[in-house]
Amino acid sequence: MTGVRFRLLALIALVLALTTAAGAQQQEVRPPIAQLWMDVATNVFVIPGAPRGAVPTGTSNAFGNTRFGMGRYVDIALHVRTRPQGIQATQAIPQAMRMGPSLPLEPFKATPPPPSTPGIPTDPGQMQPPRGRVLLYWGCGADVRSGQPRIVDLATGTPQQWQSIFQGRFAPERGATAEAGHSIWPNERDRQVLPAGNSLVGDHTITGDGVPAGFRFPIGATQDLMPALELSTRGTLQESVLLQWRTISTARSYFIGAFVAKGNDFIIWSSSELPEAGIALFDYLSNAAVDRWVNDRVLLPATATQCAVPKGIFAGTEGAFLRMIAYGQEANLLFPARPADPRVVWEQQWAVRVRVKSTATSLLGP
C-alpha cells in the first residue's frame, strides 16, 4: 500500500511540474513586418486679447511641423522590416481628409549637415564660465508657495541641485521620425497642407513593395485632429495671471509652463504640483505616462479649466514665453491579434501608432 501511495504522489508531482512548465512557456513573438507611425498636432499662437479665430492652415508643409509649425499637421512614417532602404508606398485616405484619394510615402533622403560656424571657440580655455541662476517656481495659485523658488547657480550647481529642478520626466521618441529606412509624408513629392475642417476619421490603407496584404486600419474620432486650445489670460506680471481655457473632450490631461530671462537669471514656472520644470513634457506622451503623471499631480487632470501663475514671479521683465499642451489619446493597433495558445508563434504583420496633441503658445505681457 505504501508503494502504491508513493507512486501516486510521484505521478501527481509530475503532472503538476508539467502543467507549471506549460503555463510558464513564453510565446515567441516576431516583430511586425510593417510599422506605421502617425503624429497628429494642432498648434496655435495665442495673442492675448485678440479674438480667437480659425486655426491657420499655412501655405506650405514639411515633415516635422507637428513639433514646430503653427497650424494643423500630420507626420507619417513607414518602416518595412524586409526593405531596410525604404520604399515608395501609398496611403489611401478617407474622403473626409479632402486631400485626394491617397498620400505618397517617399523614402527619407538625408541631407548633409551644415558647415560649422566660424568664430565659435572650441578650446575650453577660451570659453567663459556661465553666470547667473535658474529659479524654479511651480504649482497653480495666486501666491508663491513656501519653499519656492528652488535656485541653482549656473557656475556652481551640483548634479543633485540640477536634478531637483529637472526631474528627468520626458517622452522617449516613439513616433514618426525622418530617418534612414523610413518612408515619410509630407515629402518633396507632396507638401499639400491640411484644408480647414478636414478629418482623419475613416479607413486608411497602406500598400507598397514588401507591405503585407490587407494593411488596413481605422482612425476614430478619438485620434482625429484635436481642436485648438482656447487659452485666455487675465492679469499683469506684477499680479497673479489667471489662465483659463475650454476643455477638449478628447484630452487626457494638460500641462503649462512659462519662462523668461531676467538679467543673468532664467526664471521657470510650471503648473506641476511637484517641483518639475517640465521642459521635456511639451511633447507626445504615452497613455500610461499621462495616467502616471496625472496621479503624481505633475500633469493637470482632463477636467481642469484654469490655473493661476503666482504673483510677481515674472515682474520686471518684458514678458514671459508661455506654452500649454493638451495630451490626446494614443492608439496602438496590431494585426493579427495575439494567439491565445502560447505554443503558437505570434507572427505580427503590421502595427500602427497614432499620437495626438494640441498646443498653444502665448506671451504673458508686462
pLDDT tens digit string along 73-96? 999 999 999 999 999 999 999 999
Query: In 3D, which of 322, 323, 276, 272 has the Cα closest to residue 300?
Result: 272
* Cα(64)–Cα(73) distance, integer angstroms: 9
What are the φ/ψ torsions at residue 99 (nearest 5 degrees)?
Answer: -130, 25
pLDDT tens per residue across span 183-192: 999 999 999 9
The CA–CA distances, whole Å, from 72 to 50, 194, 226, 281, 356 equal 20, 7, 9, 20, 11
- pLDDT value for 222: 97
Is the Cβ–Cβ distance between 14 and 152 less than 8 Å? no
Query: What percent of the chain shows pLDDT beyond 90?
Result: 75
pLDDT tens digits, residue range 182-220? Answer: 999 999 999 999 999 999 999 999 999 999 999 999 999
Say which residue, 96 or 165, is predicted with more confidence: 96
Q: What angle do CA 221, 227, 230 make, to 5 degrees?
A: 150
Q: What pLDDT is stored for residue 22 in this prediction?
A: 47
d(CA 284, CA 304): 19
Say if residues 94 and 203 touch (Cβ distance below 8 Å): yes
Would you say residue 121 has pLDDT above 90? no
| Coil vs helix vs strand at 8 | helix
Q: What is the pLDDT of residue 341?
A: 94
- Cα distance between residue 55 and residue 194, in whole Å: 11
pLDDT in tens, 29-58: 999 999 999 999 999 998 876 666 567 766
Query: 103: burial class by Cβ within 10 Å (0-12, 13-18, 19+)?
Result: buried
- Dist CA 305 CA 270 (whole Å): 16
What does the block give as the cell for 60?
506650405
Is the pLDDT at 123 greater than 80, yes or no?
Answer: no
How far apart, in whole angstroms, are the C-alpha atoms of residue 174 and residue 289?
13
Kindly report, residue by residue over 291-314, the tens digit of the pLDDT: 999 999 999 999 999 999 999 999
Torsion on CA atoms 280, 282, 288, 290, rounded to nearest 10:
120
